[in-house]
A and B are shown apart, each in its own frame.
Chain A
Amino acid sequence: MNPEHAPIIQMKNIEKHFGSVIALAGVSVDVFPGECHCLLGDNGAGKSTFIKTMSGVHQPTHGEILFDGKPMHFADPRDAIAAGIATVHQHLAMIPLMSVSRNFFMGNEPVKKVGPINFFDHDYANKVTMEEMRKMGINLRGPDQAVGTLSGGERQTVAIARAVHFGAKVLILDEPTSALGVRQTANVLATIDKVRKQGIAVVFITHNVRHALAVGDRFTVLNRGQTLGTAQRGQITPDELQDMMAGGQELVELEGSLGGTV
């Protein structure tokens, strides 16, 4: 879209083999800051493997990852998090029994030194949590409200707000909308939009074409471990995307029999 700004992550010809199974067979994707890059694909297309490679969980068998133009080798997810790549997982984002502010700072607890001992700085954590959540449009009853009392969409929003607060440059969202109702989905998509406007690169994994088109700037479709190319917004129609995802013909036939409702 914007030729002068450089991609923050370049995944070049990534291959990933698990024993004799080839999960990724040469995938190349560029992710730009301030853009929402939608990664589409059916179940088993290799989406999870691809984002796990991007976030340091897996090492690629072949291929190169450039981060800010420099080659990157993430030994584990902590490296990736330190570099600014944050992943928000579909189900594994939040701990329902814990309060919002404890969740928000999980793994990054602010500490206050009293004498020789480092204490969890609850006042700071509570203040920041309330502030960040208000920015995302969620009014909490209090920072000690348990995450279990929030709706699914609100939980995703907390997770996203958390990643942004801790300086994520790239935010990977793994199917954030797949289990949500209409209104909550709209909330999450609105959040994605807010995040993108802050200059953060968003990688949005979904298999719902309409959700992708609502916020996406670029669309990459994965199918059986291969990419069918990246399209920019406006260059592709919903039907074309849908076809690419399902690998073409079969779905066209299926769609016919279902009267174009898929």
Chain B
Amino acid sequence: MTSLTKKLALAAVVAVTPLIAATGAAAEGEKYILVSHAPDSDSWWNTIKNGIALAGDQMGVEVEYRNPPTGDIADMARIIEQATASGPNGIITTLADYDVLKGPITAAVDSGIDVIIMNTGTPDQAREVGALMYVGQPEYDAGLAAGQRAKGDGIASFLCVNHSIQQPTLAERCQGFADGLGVELGNSMLDSGTDPAEVKNKVLAYLSANPETDAILTLGPVSADPTVAALNENGMAGDIYFGTFDLGEEIVKGIKDGTINWGIDQQPFLQAYLPVVILTNYHRYGVLPGNNINSGPGFVTADGLTKVEEFAGEYR
């Protein structure tokens, strides 16, 4: 019996030790929690993490980043509820699915926690759930602007590489782009998945089946990087009109060497940094900007890439 007890005790200690080591380091001051809808695998959100960390340091507040590991929005709702239960001063969250998140966010607001909606969602929805403001890039509008720009460049058909088909906001970018061009979305949206090799091969297959495609729109580094590789392989790099949402190291390189015509920077850094600063100032001094903040769209082209290049993937 004693040996069993010992083993049990040992097992308990082993399980608990790393937990203790990882806790601690709780700063004084206000506490803000940022909840995103992105799965762990989405590297784009690294900029967001860096953004809140920097703002936290500068303002002397405690910040935390939380996300559903698999990107399941229902899990995200639980995380918001949990954030509410832990009683922070403010919550910064995306509104990836209005239906699902409306309840938890409203409950947070009603329990006296200030909420800022960032990244996904619309200003209207943000007002509806009782958030202070919206910081981000309205997806449909950004897509529409990009479509209009492409139309001006003489584009009539396109392929939209969607790496996260289950997320409605990404599809809105494609829809906006199609509307900007004035064409039907139809079969132009490709469900590419997130695996780089799969994305690349699906793009290759689509382009060989539809050689008359004028343009490609990718929705982020996850789809853009493999698409660049695909275009390099089939020799269409620099030839086909290529626009993308968001920035990343590979995308910046692509813009520089002419493979990518432009990147739409929604400036995620601002989406993370600004809410923390705004909330802190609101809680300390009661000051609040009078309107929503559009962090994008900003078109990044080959001109003036130096700063972008330096901080791509970190703060850009």
Chains A, B in direct contact (C-beta < 8 Å): no
